[in-house]
Amino acid sequence: MSGPELWCQVALVDPDGFVIEGRAISGRGHPDLQAVEEVARLAWRVSRLGGRARLSEVSKEMAELLELSGLRLEVER
């Protein structure tokens, strides 16, 4: 049995562009709506401080779920 898979990395960026926190979103198998909710909560938390959430290393499945959810997030390519 394999370990957790990385679904995406989330960087919380302050208004000046500095990363104030980083978080890996991962789990077993494919991402689900709980993973999307976690990303949304992080994005909401940092937006209250005037910042933004920046995603990187986004898996194909996670990208599809985020698109279906309608979340508009900055994704590094």
Residues 51-65 pLDDT 10s: 999 999 999 999 999
Tens digits of per-residue pLDDT, 24-44? 999 999 999 999 999 999 999
**Contacts with 21 (C-beta within 8 Å, 6 or more apart), sequence order:** 11, 12, 46
Q: Tell me, yes or no, if the pTM score tops 0.95.
A: no
Overall domain count for the chain = 1
Owning domain of residue 24: 5-75
CA distance 61 to 69: 12
- Token readout for 29 is 């198998």
41, 69 contact by CB (below 8 A)? no
